[in-house]
Amino acid sequence: MMRWRTRTVMVIGTGVCTLLLCACGIRRTAVRDKVQVGVACYDQGDTFLNEMVDCLRDQFDKIKTENGAHMAVTVREAAGSQRTQDDQVKELLDEGCQVLCVNLVDRADPSAIIDLAREYDVPIIFFNREPVAEDMLQWEKLYYVGADAQQSGEMQGELAAAAILSDQQIDRNNDGRIQYVVLEGEPGHQDAIIRTESAVNTLRNQGIELEKLSCGIANWNRAQAQNRMMQMISQYQNNIELVLANNDDMALGAIDAYKKLNVTEAALPVFFGIDGTKAGLKAVADTELYATVYNDKGGQAAAIANLAASIGFEKGMDQMEFENGKYIYLPYFKITSENVNEFLKES
């Protein structure tokens, strides 16, 4: 798994180098020596997104140091308001940005931003919050970088199935079924519904009998997840055997709830997350979180920076490999206590 990831990053890295060597050499006169990139994020209170923006800054910095040309980055965050984000994009365009990287607030409402970008003829790389397919067809200069939600759900399901099959204690009441609850991300987000469905289907396909007790929406948020989990515990006491969370922060919020209630270890369910945030990795290493799935923020950031460089330095798209002409999806990876140290080292 790690080999795959290293290779992906190397391919991307090589692409950037080649691109920038060309940028410095063959067409020196035609090439800009500075590209302004505007990054618009939906909410920097989101742990994964925050870590991803740090990776993006690092990646853009690397491009700057590997050759004489700069990529100057301005980041704006919209605190969850699409209208604020629309205004911020207008400001970024007025300030002269030549490439936009947009993490939409409302993934179903990108039209105002697309219209603006088109007016200024500035391409957009959407990331993490995937616009619906029809919107991606509104203009040819729209791209998306992210990861395949279904793959993350399947991996979470496989990790949970492997745990259940290898440890009979997880079925604490020994009824041959696993009583579970789900903590879901934002309604309407591609990574919420799809992750839940594919995790549950994967568990069933692996022969695990399941009984769903409850499902709570916690919007990717640790504190909200803690509240939802407190309610579920008060309703189902210690009958919950498995907690599937759409991301690490919500899995950690669920763990917080059990800690707050001082539930004894023997009555704890097993918890599974997705993301591999710093706190998530630490919880896997501490064996509080049974396992998680790595949402490759570094790989996604490298792909965004590489694509932005291709656009900004006007090198064309020959170096890039797209799905359906405009999508780049980076793979997820499973993380358990066995390989968590490799990821901790990298983060």
Beta carbon of residue 85, minimum distance to ligand GAL (angstroms, whole number): 13
DSSP string of 171-197, one letter each residue = STT-SSSEEEEEEE--TT-HHHHHHHH
**Which of 178/291 has CB closer to ligand GAL?**
291
- Rounded to whole angstroms, how far apart are CA atoms 277 and 297? 9
Burial (0-12, 13-18, 19+ Cβ within 10 Å), 330: buried
Q: What are the beta bridge partners of residue 76? A: 40
Beta carbon of residue 247, minimum distance to ligand GAL (angstroms, whole number): 3
Beta carbon of residue 220, minimum distance to ligand GAL (angstroms, whole number): 4
Beta carbon of residue 236, minimum distance to ligand GAL (angstroms, whole number): 25
**Which of 36/295 has CB closer to ligand GAL?**
295
- Rounded to whole angstroms, how far apart are CA atoms 72 and 136? 26
Dihedral of the alpha carbons of 192, 193, 199, 202, in degrees to the nearest 10: -150
Beta carbon of residue 126, minimum distance to ligand GAL (angstroms, whole number): 11
**Which of 38/146 has CB closer to ligand GAL?**
146
Instruction: Look up residue 178 and give its two tokens.
Output: 């696993």
What is the 3 state secondary structure string of 269-311?
CEEECCECCHHHHHHHHCCCCCEEEECCHHHHHHHHHHHHHHH
Beta carbon of residue 282, minimum distance to ligand GAL (angstroms, whole number): 16
**Which of 202/247 has CB closer to ligand GAL?**
247
**Which of 189/228 has CB closer to ligand GAL?**
189
- Rounded to whole angstroms, how far apart are CA atoms 282 and 284? 5
**Which of 129/326 has CB closer to ligand GAL?**
129
**Which of 71/252 has CB closer to ligand GAL?**
252
How far is residue 286 CA from its own chain's centroid?
Answer: 23
- Give one word for 328, left, alpha or beta, with left for phi > 0 and alpha for psi -120 to 50: beta
Q: Which residue has the tokens 């709570």?
A: 216
CA distances for 329 relative to 52, 121, 226, angstroms: 15, 25, 31
Beta carbon of residue 80, minimum distance to ligand GAL (angstroms, whole number): 11
Beta carbon of residue 38, minimum distance to ligand GAL (angstroms, whole number): 19
Beta carbon of residue 210, minimum distance to ligand GAL (angstroms, whole number): 23
CA distances for 37 relative to 85, 125, 245, 307, 311, angstroms: 15, 10, 34, 11, 10
**Which of 46/241 has CB closer to ligand GAL?**
46
The footprint of ligand GAL (CB under 6 A) covers: 46, 48-49, 128-129, 185, 189, 191, 220, 247, 274-275, 295
**Which of 44/238 has CB closer to ligand GAL?**
44
Contact 230, 261 (CB under 8 A): yes
3-state secondary structure of 51: helix
